[in-house]
Structure 1
Amino acid sequence: MTKCNHWSETKYIKDIITNPLIEAGDYSYYSGYYSSGSFEDGCVRYLWGDEVSRQLFNPIEQMGWHLDKLLIGNYVCIASGVTILMGGNHNHQMDSISVYPFLETIADTYEPRGDTIIKSDAWLGMNAMIMPGITIGEGAIVAAGSVVTRDVEPYTVVGGNPAKPIKKRFNEKEIEQLLSMRWYDWERPLIERALPIITQGSVSDLYDFYQQEVLATK
């Protein structure tokens, strides 16, 4: 089952994806109970590579397109109603007389936007929309209902339409330390030992743990 049966149920994304153009890290989840579709057919939109689209056509072989990917890090939280727009809607040419994607010319109009990247420990709030080719930085938070049209820096809270920075979650020194530690890439047993700090403690406490338990063992 790829759909959630209750609002309290979540699905680990790496366990439910079938599209080869989607990659997801460990423990990243989708809480999709209130959405009408599954992760690949509701949250992620216009991305060739699911079972049905693979049976219908192959734009890589037939039209030579280089398709964008969706890359999701570890411990990412994606709420119900989030929309991640991908590559299937790039054929509307704003610099031509008509924006209509005529079948006769559609093979030549596609332009990649670049991979959409949601880095580790990011949180996408309910009904947020991520436009194609966006990078959401580590530890960033996208407020509910936001429309993200630009990259989001690590550990930054953004909101609105279009989404704008609201605040930094930590000061610059702490962000630098977090990005150097990359706790979300540690082995799970080490993370479990550090959970009391990760879930409540200060960045400096976690950095002390990192120096003692990670750097000192290298």
Structure 2
Amino acid sequence: MRKFLTALAINFGVVLKVPLLLFFDARYLSGRFFDQDFLGFYWCIKAIWTRNILRLAPPRPFPAALTCRISKAENIDFHPDDLNNFQSPGTYFQNLHGRIVIGRGSYIGPNVGLITANHRLDDLDKHEPGMDIVLGKRCWIGMNAVVMPGVVLGDDTIVAAGAIVTKSFASGAVIIGGVPAKVLKTRSL
């Protein structure tokens, strides 16, 4: 069945995308999940049903799983080939006051939080000014990790599951982990 659906998507993808344009921005309806696979169409159907029809979560300009929480979709920059990062359960993109940039080929595991602004310690009803988060190309953020405001991770950085990343590792090609995160190993690429 999957082979049939993939062949259908590859051969009739342009026609299948037309109704999706009612719900999603055209720039997100391209890439490997639409041009080489049926997964993109599947994610679209699920997102239309849960976010646009049932209104269980706010609609987004790209297909996102029901349990993927995104504060401000226009403050996220990513390549359409990385649409899979918004299908991971429990992901939290808190970006009301800052941007999140996800480098091409990066993977974000389940229950990961990317947080661009913390609460003020003297008044918890207010937030500190937002600071952008930048993930380089081919990064991997493991399950239950949290990336805090202002963090820049260089290309090929791996964040261990459960890590709390409070500072930048801009040089890249490292494995980091712990609370707070520190370099566990340098990768030779």
TM-score (norm 1): 0.50
Matched, 1:157 2:175: yes
Matched residue, 1:78:
108
Matched residue, 1:30:
85
> Given that residues 157 and 168 in structure 1 are in contact (C-alpha distance below 8 angstroms), is that contact kept between their aligned partners in structure 2?
yes
Q: How many aligned positions are there?
A: 125
Matched residue, 2:67:
none
Matched, 1:100 2:123: yes
Aligned-pair identity (%): 27
Shift of 1:68: 1.4
Stretches of 4+ moved more than 4 A in 1?
A: 31-34
Task: Measure the CA separation in 2 of the matches of 1:124 and 1:138.
Answer: 12
Q: Which runs of 5+ in 1 are unaligned?
A: 4-13, 36-41, 49-66, 94-98, 175-218
Tell which structure's C-alpha radius of gyration is larger. 1
Residues 32 and 160 of structure 1: CA distance in aligned 2, closer, same or farther (over 3 Å): farther
Matched residue, 1:128:
145
Task: Measure the CA separation in 2 of the matches of 1:33 and 1:25.
Answer: 16
Matched residue, 1:112:
129
Matched residue, 2:161:
144
Matched, 1:44 2:98: no
TM-superposition CA deviations, 1:92-145 (whole Å, max 9, x none): 14xxxxx2245xxx5xxx543421101110000011110111011101000011
Matched residue, 1:212:
none
Matched residue, 2:10:
none
> Given that residues 156 and 174 in structure 2 are in contact (C-alpha distance below 8 angstroms), is that contact kept between their aligned partners in structure 1?
yes
Matched residue, 2:74:
20
Residues 117 and 2 of structure 1: CA distance in aligned 2, closer, same or farther (over 3 Å): farther
TM-score (norm 2): 0.57
SS at structure 2 position matched to 1:30 = helix
> Given that residues 116 and 131 in structure 2 are in contact (C-alpha distance below 8 angstroms), is that contact kept between their aligned partners in structure 1?
no
Which residue identity lines up with residue 102 of structure 2 in the other structure?
Answer: I
Cα RMSD over matched residues? Answer: 2.8
Which is bigger in relative contact order (C-alpha 8 A, separation at least 6)?
A: 1
Shift of 1:26: 4.1
Shift of 1:83: 0.8
